[in-house]
Amino acid sequence: MKKILTIVSILFLSGAFAFAQMPPASKPDAELTRKEAELRIQDFQSRVSSLETKLNELNAKYEELEIELKNVNAALRDCNDEIKRILGVSDADIEAFAQKLGVLEGKVRDMKRLNDDQLADRRSDVEALEKEYLELRKNKISIMPKFFDRMVQLGRDIRGLYREKKITTYTVGTWAENRDCLWNISGKMEIYGDPLQWPKIWQANTDQIRNPDIIFPGQVLKIPPAGPKTPEEIKAERRYWRLKRQAAEQQQPTAVPGN
């Protein structure tokens, strides 16, 4: 035991002595003594050897992981082949499903950019997206691991698009005091701040407004959310102006020959 301790002590002291003889790292090579240069070279050689050992260990570990990855990929391919066999689908079927899913996800992303009022006005579009989603979900491919999580998230996103219309009301005042007509009501800042939106009020109140030129004091009108005119509102507005032009043309006096 004493002999071992003596040997360890000698090695320690020799190492400490060598370290003490090492020149400062900042000392230029050209200024080193021969002994210092030999010590510096030995130090570099030791570091290089240590790094080479670590590199060899890492290369060996890399090769092991590469083999493991190849085995995992092979197992994954076998698993996917078995899933396709069980479902009775081909790679072409899977690719077609992936394209449909991607298109639907794009439509949902676009809808998510709309505000609540716009979504409320486009409820029919949201319902169409949900119908399209339900058709995709009927496909057996939707349960494949590569699509399952995306399908679940897509269903949540579509359900999150539903908004209820926020219907407010406006009580019609008199023309003499309030100058109330659909055009002026729509132009009020607390309504739309845009008189051109009057068809929205008209179409939301067709149960009590037969002629948009005529409203009565005391009528309580429903005011739908602000937003672009719906196709139905645009169609009604065009019909209104067409009838107005026809009525104006019919009221024009017929020219009397000779006058």
* Residue 130 and residue 77 in contact, taking contact as beta carbons nearer than 8 Å: no
> How much is the pLDDT for 12?
43
| Co-location of 146 and 190 in the same domain | no
User: Domain ends where: 159, 178, 206?
Assistant: 159
| Co-location of 135 and 195 in the same domain | no
User: Domain ends where: 134, 159, 184?
Assistant: 159
Within a domain: 85? no
Sorting pLDDT into bands at 50, 70 and 90, what band is 10? Answer: very low
Tokens 């085995």 belong to residue: 71
Q: How many residues appear in the chain? A: 259
CA distance 57 to 181: 86
Within a domain: 68? no
| Co-location of 179 and 215 in the same domain | yes
* Residue 193 and residue 245 in contact, taking contact as beta carbons nearer than 8 Å: no
| Co-location of 233 and 200 in the same domain | yes
SS3 196: helix
Mean pLDDT on 69-90: 86
CA distance 42 to 14: 14
| Co-location of 95 and 151 in the same domain | yes
Q: Which structural domain, as residue segments, surrounds residue 105?
A: 91-159
Please report, rounded to a whole number, the percentage of residues in the chain having pLDDT higher than 70. Answer: 86
CA distance 119 to 198: 20
| Co-location of 193 and 238 in the same domain | yes
CA distance 50 to 92: 53
| Domains of the chain: total | 2
Per-residue pLDDT reduced to its tens digit, 126-170: 999 999 999 999 999 999 999 999 999 999 999 999 987 666 899
Provide the whole-model pTM. Answer: 0.46
Q: Any idea which of 7-16, 148-157, 178-187, 189-198 has the lowest mean pLDDT?
A: 7-16
Per-residue pLDDT reduced to its tens digit, 220-246: 999 988 888 999 999 999 999 999 898
Per-residue pLDDT reduced to its tens digit, 28-74: 877 788 888 888 899 889 999 999 999 999 999 999 999 999 999 88
Domain of residue 223, CATH code? 3.10.350
Q: Which stretches of the chain are DSSP H helices?
A: 2-21, 34-87, 91-112, 116-121, 123-138, 145-159, 175-178, 182-187, 198-204, 231-251
| Co-location of 114 and 182 in the same domain | no
| Co-location of 220 and 243 in the same domain | yes
| Co-location of 185 and 142 in the same domain | no
* Residue 122 and residue 165 in contact, taking contact as beta carbons nearer than 8 Å: no
| Co-location of 119 and 173 in the same domain | no
| Co-location of 144 and 216 in the same domain | no
Sorting pLDDT into bands at 50, 70 and 90, what band is 13? Answer: very low
Sorting pLDDT into bands at 50, 70 and 90, what band is 251? Answer: confident
User: Domain ends where: 130, 159, 188?
Assistant: 159
Within a domain: 22? no
Within a domain: 58? no
> How much is the pLDDT for 19?
45
